[in-house]
């Protein structure tokens, strides 16, 4: 046994002994990683892997400009928001400049989970209600409250949502009740939200709000049907509720054509939640809302996050945003994403296992089915393909309610050559699956 194999085995043994068993590893043969660079990861033996999976390092693993900015600020000052420092206001100004009016007031925290938790508090303070409408198969974070509004986690555990959570059908135009060829699919899916509002009104209950990923990722890398959010937001607002856009997966140009996912639906949320990629791997979360909602939350109880909005986190956040603009990563995602989407769709003619290819920019999903007629999910086949690709040096993941959707969300520097490599690797993995 080699030194590297011994080291990996020792790490696995230590993990089993020291780390809670509910924290899982990716791939049947776990990766022992030692470094990353842009869209690549390197294991303990120096082997390079193309990362088509991790959207957290948005501008690239260990981007040198982000590393430099973080190190310089950490060597100078790292403190909290109870002191004045230019980096907080500078970052808030840069961030809000990417958003439409009236989204101009920021709160900074440490993760998407904390940001969604705060968004719920803001919505409750403003609406003076607690009942929330969520989407089936959604995931919004790991706190107790967010687990309550994340049906994806409830489905896995068998735990029911509390009575104040109302789960609307996932607007899936491939697998759901209303298909992509129905021009009114968005409006029809929105009726379920209207029905919940009617029920709450009859029970003399208020509506706190509606929360959804602008493009459901855990739900299967979906783009919402046209008009869906416009119809839902109008219904929720008429009932006095708040509309929350969870942009943790899709912000900062990942969709290519749009900087934020909600723009694809031509709506403006009341609250936008950000996390994961805005810190390029450093723990940052943000909530951006209106002055009116922020005023409702200002009830005399101070909101403070020890590390949220620190000098270092704001410096990193501002640097990431600057790189997105400077490197034209949104336009890059659109160009590369169009190329990748076309190549993935070309595989459908050869492999009947592929039921659907969807997405935008570098937010793509390939749904695998055992029958294009019955749509029986090919979950085991998806798992096998992901592991075969990992063996070949290309990393992707699976997601969706049935765990049968190949999830492709690479760091934004991912280029056309990388796209070709990924498709060729997927082709080989599918061919092996077809021959058993």
pLDDT of residue 152: 86
Do 128 and 180 lie in one domain? The reply is yes
**pLDDT digit string (tens) for 64-92?**
999 999 999 999 999 999 999 999 999 99
Give phi and psi for 397, each to the nearest 5: -135, -175
344 and 430 both lie in a single domain: yes
Give me the mean pLDDT over the 144-164 stretch.
82
Do 263 and 344 fall within a single domain?
no
Q: What's phi and psi for 378, nearest 5 deg?
A: -105, 65
Per-residue confidence band for 1, with pLDDT thresholds at 50, 70 and 90: very low
Are residues 138 and 235 both part of a single domain? yes
Q: Which domain holds residue 384?
A: 3-59+328-434
The sheet carrying 33-37 orders its strands as: 33-37, 40-43, 48-51, 394-395
pLDDT for the residue numbered 3: 46
* Alpha-carbon gap, residue 315 to 296, rounded angstroms: 29
Does the pLDDT value for residue 106 go beyond 80?
yes
Which percentage of the chain shows pLDDT scores above 90?
Answer: 91
Q: How many domains does the chain have?
A: 2
Strands 285-289, 105-109: pairing is antiparallel
Say yes or no: 379 and 292 in one domain. Answer: no
| Predicted pLDDT at 434 | 77
Taking residues 383-405, report their average pLDDT.
Answer: 97
The contacts of residue 288 (CB under 8 Å, 6+ apart) are 95, 96, 99, 103, 104, 105, 106, 107, 271, 272, 274
- Measured at the CA of 367, the angle between CA 362 and CA 372, to 5 degrees, comes to 145
Please identify, among 280, 305, 326, the residue that sits at the C-terminal boundary of a domain: 326
State the number of CA atoms in the 13 A half-sphere of 305 facing the CB.
Answer: 21
Please identify which residue in the block is written with the tokens 């791939």: 27
Residue range 181-191: mean pLDDT, rounded: 97
pLDDT greater than 80 at residue 46? yes
* Per-residue tokens: 320: 């990431």
Q: Residue 391, SS3?
A: helix
> Burial code of 124-159, b = ≥16 C-beta within 10 A, e = fewer?
bbbbebbbbbbbbbbbbbebebbbbbbbbbbeeeee
Residue 156 pLDDT: 60
Residue at token pair 């299967």: 220
What's the pLDDT at 7? 81
**How far is the first Cα of the chain from the last one, in angstroms, to the nearest whole number?**
30
CATH number at residue 430: 3.90.1150.10
- Residue 375 backbone zone (phi > 0: left; psi -120 to 50: alpha; other: beta): left
CA dist 269 and 232 (Å) reads 11
Opening angle at CA 422, ends 41 and 275, nearest 5: 55
- On whether both 222 and 268 belong to a single domain, the answer is yes
> What value does the mean pLDDT take over residues 386-403?
97
Out of 283, 309, 326, a domain closes at 326
Contacts with 408 (C-beta within 8 Å, 6 or more apart), sequence order: 52, 53, 221, 340, 359, 362, 364, 365, 366, 396, 422
- On whether both 233 and 357 belong to a single domain, the answer is no
Q: Point out the domain boundary residue: 326, 347, 375.
A: 326
DSSP string across 49-97: EEESS--SSTT-BT-HHHHHHHHHHHHH----TTS--HHHHHHHHHHHT
Count of residues making up the chain: 436
Contact call for residues 313 and 284 (beta carbons, < 8 A): yes
pLDDT the model gives residue 5: 55
Q: Check whether residue 223 and residue 101 sit in a common domain.
A: yes
- Are residues 349 and 263 located together in one domain of the fold? no
CA distances from 126 to 115, 238, 252, 270, 293 (A): 17, 14, 28, 11, 6
Q: Tokens at residue 369, please?
A: 């089915």
What values do phi and psi take at 388, rounded to 5? Answer: -65, -40
For residues 116 and 37, give the distance between their C-alpha atoms in angstroms, rounded to a whole number: 30
CATH code for position 128: 3.40.640.10
Residue 141 in this model has a pLDDT that exceeds 90: yes
Q: Across residues 127-155, what is the average pLDDT? A: 91
For 280-304, what is each residue's pLDDT tens digit? 999 999 999 999 999 999 998 899 9
pLDDT at position 435 is 74
pLDDT of 4 strictly over 60: no
**How does pLDDT run across 194-246, given as a tens digit for each residue?**
999 999 999 999 999 999 999 999 999 999 999 999 999 999 999 999 999 99
Verify that 314 and 333 share a domain, yes or no.
Answer: no
pLDDT in tens, 402-429: 999 999 999 999 999 999 999 999 999 9
Whether the per-residue pLDDT at 154 is higher than 90: the answer is: no
Q: Are 178 and 316 members of one domain?
A: yes
* All residues at 6 or more sequence positions from 69 whose CB lies less than 8 Å from its CB, including other chains: 315, 316, 318, 319
Mean residue pLDDT across the chain: 95
Q: Are residues 332 and 322 in the same domain?
A: no
The whole-number average pLDDT for the span 339-344 is 98
């Amino acid at each position: 046994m080699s030194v590297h194999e011994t080291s990996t085995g020792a790490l696995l043994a230590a993990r089993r002994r020291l780390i809670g068993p509910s924290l899982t590893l990716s791939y049947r043969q776990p990766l022992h990683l030692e470094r990353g660079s842009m869209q690549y990861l390197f294991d303990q033996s120096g082997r390079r892997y193309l990362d088509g999976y991790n959207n957290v390092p948005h501008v690239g693993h260990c981007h040198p400009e982000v590393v430099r900015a973080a190190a310089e600020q950490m060597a100078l000052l790292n403190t909290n928001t109870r002191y004045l420092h230019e980096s907080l206001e500078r970052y808030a100004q840069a961030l809000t400049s990417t958003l439409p009016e009236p989204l101009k007031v920021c709160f900074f925290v440490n993760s998407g989970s904390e940001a969604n938790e705060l968004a719920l508090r803001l919505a409750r303070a403003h609406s003076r209600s607690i009942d929330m409408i969520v989407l089936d198969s959604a995931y919004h974070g790991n706190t107790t409250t967010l687990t309550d509004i994340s049906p994806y986690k409830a489905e896995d555990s068998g735990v029911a949502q509390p009575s104040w959570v109302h789960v609307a059908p996932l607007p899936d135009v491939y697998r759901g009740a209303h298909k992509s060829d129905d021009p009114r699919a968005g409006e029809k899916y929105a009726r379920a939200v209207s029905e919940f509002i009617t029920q709450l009104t009859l029970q003399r209950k208020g509506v706190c709000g509606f929360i959804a990923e602008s493009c459901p990722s855990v739900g299967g890398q979906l783009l919402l049907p046209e008009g869906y959010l416009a119809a839902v937001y109008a219904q929720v607002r008429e009932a006095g509720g708040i509309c929350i856009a969870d942009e943790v997966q899709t912000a900062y140009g990942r969709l290519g054509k749009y900087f934020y996912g909600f723009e694809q639906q031509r709506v403006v949320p009341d609250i936008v939640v950000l996390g994961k990629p805005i810190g390029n791997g450093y723990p940052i979360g943000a909530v951006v809302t209106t002055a009116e909602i922020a005023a409702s939350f200002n009830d005399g109880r101070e909101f403070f996050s020890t590390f949220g909005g620190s000098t270092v986190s704001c410096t990193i956040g501002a640097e990431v945003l600057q790189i997105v603009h400077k490197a034209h990563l949104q336009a890059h995602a659109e160009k590369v994403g169009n190329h990748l989407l076309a190549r993935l769709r070309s595989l459908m003619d050869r492999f009947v296992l592929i039921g659907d290819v969807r997405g935008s920019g570098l937010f793509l999903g390939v749904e695998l089915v055992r029958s294009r007629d019955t749509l029986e999910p090919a979950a085991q086949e998806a798992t096998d393909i992901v592991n075969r690709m990992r063996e070949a040096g290309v990393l992707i993941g699976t997601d969706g309610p049935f765990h049968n959707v190949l999830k492709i969300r690479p760091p934004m520097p991912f280029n056309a050559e990388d796209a070709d490599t990924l498709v060729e690797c997927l082709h080989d993995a599918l061919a092996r699956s077809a021959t058993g």
